[in-house]
Amino acid sequence: QIKACQQNQQLAIVLHLEGAEFLAIEPDLLDVFYEAGLRSIGPLWNRKSLFGDGLNVSFPHSPDTGSGLTKAGKDLVVTCAKKGMVIDVSHMNERAFWDTLEIADQPIVATHSNAHALCAQARNLTDRQLAAIKQNGGMVGVNFDVAFLRADGQRDTQTSLDVIVDHLDYLIDHLGEDHVGFGSDFDGCLLPDELSDISQISMLIERMQQRHFSEALIEKVTSKNWFAVLDKIWQ
């Protein structure tokens, strides 16, 4: 359906649940939302919940911030994996990340995360985590939030698009060119002035071209890699 929309120049949106707190009160709503089209879930968000510790600490910090998934959290991941849903680890602390990798028999996706080596935000991924995602056949979508891009962690919109390309380069070096894409986080972050909304995405693509990204690699990062990982999970 997504590919058909693309061919017909129509907008396609995948329903995603970021933070599953309300399922602690009404677990049956997962089935309701699934029937309505929900196909992607981030079990944890910034707050502590029935499913595990949230990830919300000051910069700089490692991803190792607390306990992993609770029993209820592990059960939720297993249930969602059996439904063939994307399991998003972008808001998980490190222990929850490893718990998810152990119990979800499918590619693991970080929909909006960057390289911890370049920006020491706790939600960014360490080299060890990147290696695990590569081995798992998963995917990382680069976050455009300046605080997750800059080496100083500052929330400064006067941030060059080159910093995004730096993260793309780093992730491709560690994951391979088939496992990296755009993650954006357009709906909830502080963006660089040159990339204030989706209408300016061509500015980023032009910067990638200037940095010698081939057209084939740009096509992978902008669409093909997402199609590939979703095909694996939703088969």
- The number of domains in the chain is 2
**80 domain residue, yes or no:** yes
User: Both 136 and 230 in a single domain?
Assistant: yes
**30 domain residue, yes or no:** yes
Q: Which residues pair with 40 in a beta bridge?
A: 16, 86
SS3 content of the chain, % helix, strand, coil (to 5): 45, 10, 45
The single-letter DSSP state of residue 125 is: B
Give CA angle at 107 (212, 58), nearest 5°.
75
User: Both 35 and 79 in a single domain?
Assistant: yes
Q: What is the pLDDT of residues 127-166, one digit of tens each?
A: 999 999 999 999 999 999 999 999 999 999 999 999 999 9
Min mean pLDDT across 49-53, 93-97, 99-103, 185-189 is at 185-189
- Residue 138 maps to which CATH number? 3.20.20.140
**223 domain residue, yes or no:** yes
**97 domain residue, yes or no:** no
Q: What is the pLDDT of residues 5-40, one digit of tens each?
A: 999 999 999 999 999 999 999 999 999 999 999 999
Q: What is the pLDDT of residues 101-129, one digit of tens each?
A: 999 999 999 999 999 999 999 999 999 99
SS3 annotation, 154-196: CCCCCCCHHHHHHHHHHHHHHHCCCCEEEEECCCCCCCCHHHC
User: Both 233 and 121 in a single domain?
Assistant: yes
Q: Is-contact 122 61, C-beta < 8 A? A: yes
Contacts of 141 (CB under 8 A, 6+ apart): 109, 110, 111, 112, 113, 180, 181, 182, 183, 184, 226
User: Both 143 and 53 in a single domain?
Assistant: no
User: Both 35 and 69 in a single domain?
Assistant: yes
The CA distance from 110 to 56, in Å, is 17
User: Both 134 and 82 in a single domain?
Assistant: no
DSSP H helical segments within the chain, as ranges? 2-7, 29-35, 71-82, 94-103, 127-136, 161-175, 201-210, 215-219, 225-234
The single-letter DSSP state of residue 220 is: I
Q: Which of 90, 58, 60 is nearest to 152 (CA)?
A: 60
The CA distance from 20 to 176, in Å, is 31
Q: Copy the structure tokens of residue 144.
A: 């455009």
The CA distance from 159 to 121, in Å, is 16
User: Both 140 and 207 in a single domain?
Assistant: yes
**93 domain residue, yes or no:** no
Q: Which of 86, 84, 66 is nearest to 139 (CA)?
A: 86
User: Both 174 and 202 in a single domain?
Assistant: yes
Q: Is-contact 162 207, C-beta < 8 A? A: yes
Q: pLDDT averaged over the chain?
A: 96
**206 domain residue, yes or no:** yes
Domain C-terminal end among 87, 115, 150: 87
**92 domain residue, yes or no:** no
User: Both 116 and 78 in a single domain?
Assistant: no
- Would you tell me how many other CB atoms lie within 10 Å of the CB of residue 166? 18
- Answer yes or no: is pLDDT of 56 > 90: no
The CA distance from 183 to 157, in Å, is 18
Domain that holds residue 219: 107-235
**26 domain residue, yes or no:** yes
User: Both 64 and 151 in a single domain?
Assistant: no
User: Both 12 and 125 in a single domain?
Assistant: no
Q: What is the pLDDT of residue 54?
A: 86
